[in-house]
Amino acid sequence: MKHLLSTLDLSRDDAIRILDIAEEMAAVGTREVKKLPALRGRTVVNLFFEDSTRTRISFEAAAKRLSADVINFAAKGSSVSKGESLKDTAQTLQAIGADAVVIRHWASGAPARLAATDWIDAPVVNAGDGTHEHPTQALLDAFTLRRHWARARGTGSLGTDLAGLKVAIVGDILHSRVARSNLWLLRTLGAEVTMVAPPTLLPVAAGSWPCTINYDLDDALAAGPDAVMMLRVQAERMNAAFFPNAREYSRRWGFDDARLAALDAHGLAETLILHPGPMNRGLEISSGAADSSRSAVLDQVSNGVAVRMAVLYLLLSGDQQRTANETQG
């Protein structure tokens, strides 16, 4: 594994290896001194073309706990105003001597471009690109789900996958990099996925995806999912006629208190609620649901640091053992 660009091209072995190492990293996070010397002297650049404080500080904490030096580079430029080019920025980072680049970009495919060109040699970690993928989010979700799934079956999580787990992903699938990354990774790990959304917020070709499509959230909940992943919805989508208004959206596709109660009514005591954050309370999720004992939202945040430590460690540690993927390919 030279880069982490997407979960679509992540093998099952690599995924489980990342999750297993993340378990070790999580143990470090519970110690009094939360620091390992693994990446001392290495430089990790957080290259952010799009603001995301929570993702940036998660990567920053991960790198620092591995004793790496961290440079935060907030690049100017957006889809409307062109700033410094990706090429110039990458070549600058190469000249500075970056050992790894964590990139967040508003444009789908920007991390893949960095990895494919000769602008920079360093490993590239996709920290979310446009509406394409957000692989570390999917890995931290899988980590969270794996612990839950193992606990429910009374086993340890090391080495295990998510075979048999049923996950409903609810919301703006069309524009969600979290949904895409989760779909591929959950499938790779053996979980079953149901996408729940208004038809306007699903890709027209979603029928070719390895998941079930359901337009009806209540129906999807009655089917007994082990986890429900709520996605952030931008209220402005109603201006492009994706749905009539925020009220109708939350009535049909929001996880409100009534649906929280419905989980109990269905006897689904173990069903988790996940959300990648930041949450629009009252739109896609009610406060009652977000703050309930079912909510894994804060676990997701802390697991995010452990998973990102594992990814940086794997990509950067000198004694990296070759993965099955690489030796075959």
Partner 1 sequence: MNPTHATGDYLIRGASLLAETTADLLVSDGRIAAVGPAAATDARAASATVIEAAGLVALPGMVDLHTHLREPGREDAETVETGTRAAALGGFTAVHAMANSNPVADTAGVVEQVWSLGRRSGWVDVRPVGAVTVGLGGERLSELGAMADSRARVRVFSDDGICVSDPVLMRRALEYVKAFDGVIAQHAQEPRLTEGAQMNEGEVSAVLGLAGWPAVAEESIIARDVLLAQHVGSRLHVCHVSTKGSVEIIRWAKERGIQVTAEVTPHHLLLTDELVRSYDPVYKVNPPLRREEDVMALRAALADGTIDVIGTDHAPHPSESKECEWAQAAMGMTGLETALSVVQHAMIETGMITWADFARITSTVPAAIGRLGDQGRPLAAGEPANLVLVDPAARWTVDPAKMATKGRNSPFRGLELPGAVVATFFRGHPTVLGGALNTPLPLDGGA
Which of the ranges 14-22, 105-113, 251-259, 275-283 carries the binding residues for partner 1, by CB under 8 A? 105-113
Contact with partner 1 (CB under 8 A): which of 29, 203, 277, 288? 203
Interface with partner 1, residue 113, by CB under 8 A? yes
Residue 71 near partner 1 by CB under 8 A: no
Q: Which amino acid is at 291?
A: D
Is residue 234 a contact point for partner 1 (CB under 8 A)? no
Which pair of tokens denotes residue 124?
């590239």
Residues 6 or more apart in contact with residue 220 via CB below 8 angstroms: 168, 170, 194, 196, 214
Which residues ranging from 238 to 297 are in contact with partner 1 (CB under 8 A)? none
**30, 208, 321, 327: which one binds partner 1 (CB under 8 A):** 208
Q: In what order do the strands lie in the sheet with 192-196?
A: 212-214, 192-196, 166-170, 227-230, 272-274
Q: Judge contact between 323 and 270, C-beta under 8 A.
A: no
DSSP helix/strand/coil, 173 = coil
| CB nearer to partner 1: pick between 195 and 217 | 195
Residues 129-158 binding partner 1 (CB under 8 A) are 129-133
Q: How is residue 242 annotated by DSSP? A: S
* Residue in 37, 204, 322, 329 binding partner 1, rule: CB under 8 A: 204
CB atoms within 10 A of CB 104: 24
Asked if 180 interacts with partner 1 (CB under 8 A), we say: yes
Binding of partner 1 by 209 (CB under 8 A)? yes
Residues near partner 1 (CB under 8 A), total: 29
Residue 87 interacts with partner 1 (CB under 8 A): yes or no: yes
Half-sphere exposure of 198 (CA within 13 A, CB side): 21
Q: Angle at Cα 120 formed by Cα 184 and Cα 63, nearest 5°?
A: 65
CB 204 within 8 A of CB 226: no
Element (H, E) at 69: strand 69-74
Nearer to partner 1, 125 or 312 (CB): 125
Rank residues 202 and 309 by Cβ distance to partner 1 and give the closer one.
Answer: 202
Q: Which two tokens stand for residue 146?
A: 């794996």
Residues lying near partner 1 in the complex (CB under 8 A) are found at: 8, 79, 82, 85-87, 105-110, 112-113, 116-117, 129-133, 177, 180, 203-206, 208-209
Q: Which residues are annotated as a binding site?
A: 54-55, 82, 104, 134, 137, 177, 232, 277-278
